[in-house]
Amino acid sequence: MVGIPPRKWAPGKPFAGFRSGVLLGIGAALLLHQLGWWVLDINTLVLLPLLSGLLFAGRAWLGTPYR
Amino acid sequence: MRGVTLRKWLIVAALFGLAVALTAPAALAQGLEGDGCSATVNGRTLDTLDIKHPLIVEKGDTVALTGAIPRGADDGPSQTKIYVEVVGDVPVADEPGDGSFWGGTVEIPEILTSLAPGVYRVKGTATGPDWVCSGSAYIKIEGGPLTAAAAVGAVAAGAGGIGAITASKPKKGQVFYEGSSATPETSTRVAADILTIAFFFLMMLLLGIIGPSWVV
């Protein structure tokens, strides 16, 4: 085939992405609590890490582009 | 292939948006509840102690919640319970009372100032023979420049951030493009990472506004 080859996405590791996203969310919650941005409640200490985990799991699922 | 990728993005974005929308918490307001009740914390009325203007306390300080019961109510024995909100209500005081006043006092423990200072919401509820008064306010516990919680938070955020970005790399030895000499498209990858990080900050922004707020 002549021309630019098609882009292909190689999937990453969604479970590792989820774990890391949860860790990132917990760390961010603790740091921002120390900075006085918010209180430690179910939203910041549970909801934020879970959403962060889902977000980065999705990013890992999307993977890396190759051409 | 482009359609598959776009579909993946849309699924991730839709799930993320749905999760935020479904779980969006109610605003964490503070103030007084109960007809005819009054209350102050260390002499300041509750409506002034929002998250942007909390009561500043240090190690050894006391937080005194005091108030008057509704006029004309039965001034018999009452019970005041005080909680600190940390992923649910943590009881910190349970004091009996009598007469036309309600309230309780809590001393800030040293362990809190050294381990996890920061902003907290304090709630108190008093129950009398025929009345109920409750109120809440924000306090800011002052600590040192480097606290255990800050250190743990920084390490967790750093490790999590690195792991979250590297998780999008394919597994070692993964063959996905047989017979080709494909190379990673760095610019597209970086764009996807930036978009994901932007989503993460948007999420914190949403939770920060809805949860409580910005800068104290």
pLDDT tens column, A13-56 = 999 999 999 999 999 988 888 877 788 888 788 888 998 999 89
The tens digit of pLDDT for each residue in B52-105 reads 888 998 878 888 888 888 888 888 899 999 988 887 788 888 888 888 888 888
pLDDT of residue A45: 86
Burial of residue B210, with CB atoms counted within 10 A of its CB: 0-12 exposed, 13-18 middle, 19 or more buried: middle
Q: Are residues B52 and B136 in the same domain?
A: yes
B contacts of A29 (beta carbons < 8 Å): 153
Q: Are residues B155 and B102 in the same domain?
A: no
For residue B155, is pLDDT > 90?
yes
- Domain range enclosing B58: 31-141
pLDDT tens-digit series, residues B7-30: 767 776 676 666 666 555 444 667
Domain span holding position A41: 24-62
Supply the pLDDT for residue A60. Answer: 92
Interface contact B184-A9, CB threshold 8 A: no
**pTM: predicted TM-score of the whole model, two decimal places:** 0.73
What is the distance of C-alpha B102 from the center of its chain?
Answer: 28
| Same domain, yes or no: B105 and B62 | yes
Q: Which is it for the CA torsion A20, A23, A25, A28, positive or negative? A: negative
CA distance B60 to chain A (A): 19
CB B91, CB B81: distance < 8 Å? yes
User: Is A28 contained in some domain?
Assistant: yes
| Number of structural domains chain A divides into | 1
Residue type, B210: I
CA distance B130 to chain A (A): 32
pLDDT value of residue B4? 61
Residue A14 in any domain: the answer is: no
Which pLDDT belongs to residue B18? Answer: 65
The interface pTM score, or ipTM, of the predicted complex is 0.85
Please report the residues numbered 197 through 216 in chain B whose beta carbons come closer than 8 angstroms to any beta carbon of chain A: 199-200, 203-204, 207-208, 210-216
